[in-house]
């Protein structure tokens, strides 16, 4: 008989000396890492010609016999299917119980400056009732407000004054934005402000306050005992955390019996999702973007796919390449392509967000815009100070006809600017997460906006015998548009 014993809020122990069963468990929780075939460790061979790494991640450690608490249900399901007898520790089944009705009544009674939507209520209810949850709710669905409601409920209805909450965000500008948002939501009470401790460059990592807001980079190297003080672990924009840092934060937070991850989307790679379920909690999709648009909570959306047709000479020069980086660089260096992108940006009225992935290309777009338009221009990349990014965000909210050229790595996630009418995707790509997050930057309602226009530039360098990388990546983006129910139109423009 196998005994399953809870060790802490991160792990449980599988008490068995049956090596065959332990091997079965190991195989059940072993997966290939996404893009493992491109990893240097996988490519590198030892002196005997064997790979140094097989490309797999093993969630069950056969030496320690430990498995993540969040995988308890999956393990017992496997045991039941395979008729393997086990005894489960009652602590692994036990949850802190909350009443859905009481949560709803409490939230509805709050005097806060924002409307409380049903999907936000559902997110908070699910997170509290499950204790451990990853909530998928679209970009611009008001996740920060839902986090405020979740935290305030725990502070006032469950946690002791000495219990602490760790809220992690992926980029530094979101530390200040999240804290500022919480203070705004709580302006009629004024209690949250006194409890928030911001962690970033120059700020102490220690405080007697209850709510720590930090990037993972700021606390990554802290010792185990630092994380033991937290009863609640929250990961905002969960998809942006690397697998290693996510594991580290969650593994060290051994006393955090409440865990909540929120994100607009997760990728479709099984390994990532099972690991996240193990270290945080079950994955629940709260609502879709198309549903929020139907409910008039988000702005209606229209996508225009501009397929850029290249000359025969261009196609023969680069269409045959098997190296993605070479094709991308050729495209970003193409002067006629840059002219087309910039002229399209200039034509659209109101405020535009132009997203790029390569720093040199972002600066080319900016310089070209300076030469061709009188519109007010803003620029943000990784070197832009946090205070300046926040000021730009505030300025754009007050503008009427400006262009913000921004790094997709910095501005595709979390940044809240309602007064964006147009989003330009200038560098292709096939990431579902980045695509949906980028579009989400313009979906928030604004009094001057009736529709969000998204321009997706697609580069067709295909040859009769094969499609080029950028065209293949567009077909994947097109599938995402269809899955999400986004309306789109496609037209081709040939470069002169």
pLDDT digits (tens, 9 = 90+) for 291-347: 999 999 999 999 999 999 999 999 988 878 889 999 999 999 999 999 999 999 999
Higher per-residue confidence, 171 vs 97: 97
Report the pLDDT value the prediction gives residue 38, as an integer from 0 to 100. 77
Same domain (yes/no): 464, 338? yes
Report the pLDDT value the prediction gives residue 321, as an integer from 0 to 100. 87
**pLDDT of 241 higher than 70:** no
Same domain (yes/no): 277, 306? no
Report the pLDDT value the prediction gives residue 11, as an integer from 0 to 100. 97
Q: What is the mean pLDDT of residues 184-201?
A: 93
Q: Write the CB contacts of 9 (distance below 8 Å, at least 6 apart in sequence).
A: 69, 253, 254, 255, 256, 257, 259
Same domain (yes/no): 200, 105? yes
pLDDT band at 456 (very low <50, low <70, confident <90, very high): very high
Contact indicator for 37, 66 with CB cutoff of 8 Å: no
Report the pLDDT value the prediction gives residue 322, as an integer from 0 to 100. 87
**pLDDT of 283 higher than 60:** yes
**pLDDT of 272 higher than 90:** no
Report the pLDDT value the prediction gives residue 354, as an integer from 0 to 100. 97
Could you report the per-residue pLDDT of 194-219, keeping only the tens digit for each? 999 999 877 899 999 999 999 988 99
Flag the least confident range among 8-12, 206-210, 261-265, 420-424.
Answer: 261-265
**pLDDT of 414 higher than 70:** no
> Of the candidates 51, 75, 93, which is a domain's last residue?
93
Same domain (yes/no): 82, 126? no
Domain that holds residue 265: 100-287
Same domain (yes/no): 315, 436? yes
**pLDDT of 268 higher than 70:** no
Same domain (yes/no): 123, 207? yes
Q: Percentage of the chain surpassing pLDDT 90?
A: 74
Could you report the per-residue pLDDT of 55-93, keeping only the tens digit for each? 888 999 899 999 999 999 999 999 999 999 999 999 999
Could you report the per-residue pLDDT of 151-162, keeping only the tens digit for each? 999 999 999 999
Looking at residue 202, which CATH number applies to its domain? Answer: 3.40.50.300
Rounded distance, CA 255 to CA 446, Å? 42
Report the pLDDT value the prediction gives residue 344, as an integer from 0 to 100. 97
Same domain (yes/no): 244, 319? no
**pLDDT of 270 higher than 80:** no
**pLDDT of 412 higher than 70:** no
Same domain (yes/no): 229, 194? yes
pLDDT band at 493 (very low <50, low <70, confident <90, very high): very high
Report the pLDDT value the prediction gives residue 172, as an integer from 0 to 100. 83
Higher per-residue confidence, 364 vs 288: 364
Same domain (yes/no): 260, 375? no
Higher per-residue confidence, 4 vs 140: 4
Number of domains composing the chain? 3
**pLDDT of 242 higher than 60:** no
Same domain (yes/no): 452, 340? yes
Same domain (yes/no): 416, 459? yes
Same domain (yes/no): 258, 367? no
Could you report the per-residue pLDDT of 35-56, keeping only the tens digit for each? 778 777 787 877 777 887 888 8
**pLDDT of 240 higher than 90:** no
> Of the candidates 265, 287, 309, which is a domain's last residue?
287
Report the pLDDT value the prediction gives residue 314, as an integer from 0 to 100. 93
Computed over every residue of the chain, the mean pLDDT equals 92
Q: What is the mean pLDDT of residues 429-456?
A: 91
CA dihedral 385, 389, 392, 394 (to 10 degrees): -130
């Amino acid at each position: 008989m196998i005994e399953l014993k809870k060790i802490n809020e991160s792990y449980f122990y599988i008490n068995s000396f049956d090596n065959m069963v332990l091997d079965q468990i190991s195989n059940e929780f072993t997966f290939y890492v996404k893009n493992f075939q491109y990893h240097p460790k996988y490519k590198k061979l030892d002196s005997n010609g064997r790979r140094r790494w097989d490309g797999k991640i093993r969630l069950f450690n056969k030496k320690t016999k430990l498995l993540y608490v969040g995988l308890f249900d999956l393990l017992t399901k496997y045991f039941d299917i395979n008729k393997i007898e086990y005894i489960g520790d009652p602590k692994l089944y036990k949850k802190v119980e909350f009443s859905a009705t009481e949560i709803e009544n409490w939230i509805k009674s709050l005097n806060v400056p924002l409307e409380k939507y049903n999907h936000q209520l559902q997110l908070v209810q699910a997170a509290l009732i499950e204790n451990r949850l990853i909530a998928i709710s679209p970009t611009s669905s008001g996740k920060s407000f839902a986090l405020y409601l979740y935290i305030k409920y725990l502070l006032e209805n469950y946690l002791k004054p000495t219990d602490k909450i760790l809220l992690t965000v992926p980029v530094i500008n979101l530390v200040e934005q999240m804290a500022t948002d919480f203070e705004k939501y709580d302006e009629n009470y004024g209690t949250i402000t006194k409890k928030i401790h911001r962690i970033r460059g120059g700020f102490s990592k220690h405080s007697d306050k209850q709510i720590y807001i930090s990037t993972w980079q700021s606390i990554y190297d802290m010792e185990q005992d630092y994380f033991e003080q937290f009863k609640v672990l929250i990961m905002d924009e969960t998809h942006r955390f690397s697998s290693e840092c996510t594991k580290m934060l969650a593994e060290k937070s051994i006393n955090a019996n409440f865990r909540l991850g929120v994100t607009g989307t997760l990728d479709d790679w099984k390994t990532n999702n099972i690991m996240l379920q193990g270290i945080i909690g079950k994955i629940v999709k709260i609502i879709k973007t198309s549903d929020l648009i139907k409910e008039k909570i988000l702005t209606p959306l229209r996508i225009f796919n501009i397929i850029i047709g290249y000359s025969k000479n261009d196609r023969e020069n680069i269409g045959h390449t098997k190296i993605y980086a070479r094709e991308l660089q050729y495209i970003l260096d193409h002067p006629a392509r840059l002219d087309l992108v910039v002229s399209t940006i200039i034509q659209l009225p109101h405020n535009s967000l132009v997203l790029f992935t390569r720093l040199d290309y972002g600066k080319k777009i900016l310089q070209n815009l300076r030469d061709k338009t009188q519109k007010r221009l803003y620029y943000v990349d990784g070197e832009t100070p946090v205070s300046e990014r926040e000021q730009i965000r505030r300025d754009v909210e007050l503008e009427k006809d400006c262009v913000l050229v921004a790094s997709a790595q910095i501005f595709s996630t979390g940044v809240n600017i309602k007064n964006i009418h147009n989003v330009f995707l200038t560098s292709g790509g096939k990431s579902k997460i980045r695509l949906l997050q980028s579009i989400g930057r313009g979906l928030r309602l604004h009094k001057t906006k009736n529709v969000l226009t998204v321009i997706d530039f697609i580069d067709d360098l295909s040859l009769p015998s094969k499609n080029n990388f950028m065209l293949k990546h567009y077909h994947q983006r097109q599938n995402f548009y269809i899955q999400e129910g986004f309306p789109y139109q496609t037209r081709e423009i040939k470069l002169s």
